[in-house]
Chains A and B, each alone.
Chain A
């Protein structure tokens, strides 16, 4: 799922300094799971903002809402009545959610309350790690289900760089070397022969974000 981290309170206060009445909107999906922008975090952040502004002598009225999925237009539409009552919106959904609200409410400023960081997995309670870069052409079938695009610092496709030490990455010592993980997994599956294959250079400029805005069109689903 999409992972995010709340921005520092001081930065958020700076965004909101010229507004007295805002909507703080969370999201019931990904950011709820990583506890950055769910209903609970909306409540906590709203209280923190109110207290900070009270101390500054410029009280802030912060309405709260947490639609099921802020990135879907129909859920954004549910906020219409509330948005009419405020001067600005602070969204603690991911960057997609922020943009959905911005598109939906053209006359209301919408500010981000979190930094959207990566597509990741819960490693353990309170720890999340990147697993996917949405690169547009999944090769996990060739690498034993471990992604070298997201998990190798050099995004290598044909084995380790030689810099890893004791199974750890030379760039981020706390991270496992992706190619060590791929080796271990293929070895366990009895498929080490797969590492003998040359994986050709990726078509980054065609498949990935490098080609500009990506879009999926499903004619069978259009109405």
Chain B
């Protein structure tokens, strides 16, 4: 069953994020993907995440697909104009890829090429509109396409938002759904309570929500996230567990496992973001029975 078929039939999906390398040595990518084979429904391949220059999502997706591994191709607005974005979507389709995660993308000034000029042609609403238009058989200027691509389109939502920011996110979700979104990935959440509030607020949309969890490796990392990531609030109880941990990897799996067990009834899937601890993903899935 494909990622799309599982989501559409209401089954819980498991996704894991796999960062392309800075360079062309794909040995670790293949190693992790093989380790996850049969355990995850799709591998999500970021595109210039955090505005760090690295190998793109497209080549990694194409290579993994060739090995029979289902992938989610990522495309963000920050580095391409509307010609390049549409052409890239056609490239994706020509290579037989269907799952998309379309994102606003990170501003170059936060990355490792901070002198670069951002491309501010389309926003993510515009990019979603482009994917919709291409599937209808036209480009953004209304020109006919020879052969229509077919996509399964996702985008991101900030489910950890609070107050009026949450109201804005809901408004934004509605616009994105109008632009043809089939599923949403949340940003990383660490509190099931926040997810529950969010899920109740957007239940009427009836669009699958896949919750993201980043593996917490240390107290320093948790505190950094709390300080610098908007909306992130890792509970003190979790930070205490990390403080007392004698085996950091074991504790990391326990924390993520507790969250996934609490989140599972609330959403349609989970995305694990391992950030270097890719080898822990199977053990985590064992622990939560997925």
Other 15 A-B pairs with CB < 8 A, given A158-B124, A162-B158: A154-B78, A156-B123, A157-B123, A157-B126, A158-B172, A161-B104, A162-B104, A163-B230, A170-B110, A170-B230, A171-B107, A171-B109, A183-B168, A198-B129, A200-B129
Tell me whether A159 is interfacial, beta carbon within 8 Å: yes
Nearest 7 pairs of A and B residues by beta carbon: A201-B126, A155-B120, A158-B125, A162-B158, A165-B230, A159-B172, A156-B123
Tell me whether B179 is interfacial, beta carbon within 8 Å: yes
Cα A99 to Cα B170 with chains together (Å): 49
In the complex, chain A residues whose CB is within 8 Å of the CB of B109: 153, 171
| B123 A196 Cβ-Cβ under 8 A | no
Cα A204 to Cα B107 with chains together (Å): 19
How many residues from B make CB contacts under 8 Å with A?
A: 32
| A196 B104 Cβ-Cβ under 8 A | no
| B168 A200 Cβ-Cβ under 8 A | no
| A158 B175 Cβ-Cβ under 8 A | yes
| A195 B168 Cβ-Cβ under 8 A | yes
Partner of B179, one of A160, A195, A198: A198
Chain A facing B: main interface SS: loop
| Chain B 114-156 interface residues, beta-carbon cutoff 8 Å to A | 118, 120-126, 129, 140, 156
In the complex, chain B residues whose CB is within 8 Å of the CB of A153: 107, 109
Q: When A154-B107, A201-B82 are in contact, do A183 and B123 touch as well, CB less than 8 Å?
A: no
| A195 B171 Cβ-Cβ under 8 A | yes
Give A153 Cβ to nearest chain B Cβ, in Å: 6
**Nearest chain B residue, comparing its CB with the CB of A204:** B121
Cα A154 to Cα B123 with chains together (Å): 8
Tell me whether B187 is interfacial, beta carbon within 8 Å: yes
| B174 A157 Cβ-Cβ under 8 A | no
Tell me whether B178 is interfacial, beta carbon within 8 Å: yes
**Nearest chain B residue, comparing its CB with the CB of A164:** B230
Q: Mark A137-160, 1 if CB is under 8 A from B, else 0.
A: 000000000000000011111111
**Nearest chain B residue, comparing its CB with the CB of A163:** B230
**14 cross-chain CB contacts under 8 A:** A154-B118, A154-B120, A156-B123, A157-B126, A158-B125, A158-B175, A159-B171, A160-B165, A162-B231, A170-B107, A171-B107, A171-B110, A198-B179, A200-B126
In the complex, chain A residues whose CB is within 8 Å of the CB of B140: 201
**Nearest chain B residue, comparing its CB with the CB of A201:** B126
| B178 A198 Cβ-Cβ under 8 A | yes
| Chain A 173-199 interface residues, beta-carbon cutoff 8 Å to B | 179, 183, 187, 195-196, 198-199
Cα A93 to Cα B82 with chains together (Å): 37
A residues in contact (CB < 8 Å) with B = 153-165, 170-171, 179, 183, 187, 195-196, 198-201, 204
Cα A154 to Cα B107 with chains together (Å): 7
Give A25 Cβ to nearest chain B Cβ, in Å: 32
In the complex, chain B residues whose CB is within 8 Å of the CB of A171: 107, 109-110
Cα A153 to Cα B51 with chains together (Å): 14
Give A184 Cβ to nearest chain B Cβ, in Å: 9
Cα A187 to Cα B164 with chains together (Å): 10
Q: When A156-B104, A158-B125, A198-B175 are in contact, do A183 and B164 touch as well, CB less than 8 Å?
A: yes
In the complex, chain B residues whose CB is within 8 Å of the CB of A200: 126, 129
Give A162 Cβ to nearest chain B Cβ, in Å: 4
Cα A165 to Cα B164 with chains together (Å): 13
Cα A57 to Cα B169 with chains together (Å): 65
**Nearest chain A residue, comparing its CB with the CB of B107:** A171
Of the listed residues A155, A170, A201, the one surrounded by the most CB atoms of chain B closer than 10 A to its CB is A201
**Nearest chain B residue, comparing its CB with the CB of A193:** B171
Give A192 Cβ to nearest chain B Cβ, in Å: 8
Give A133 Cβ to nearest chain B Cβ, in Å: 11
Cα A155 to Cα B121 with chains together (Å): 9
| Chain B 233-263 interface residues, beta-carbon cutoff 8 Å to A | none
In the complex, chain B residues whose CB is within 8 Å of the CB of A157: 123, 125-126
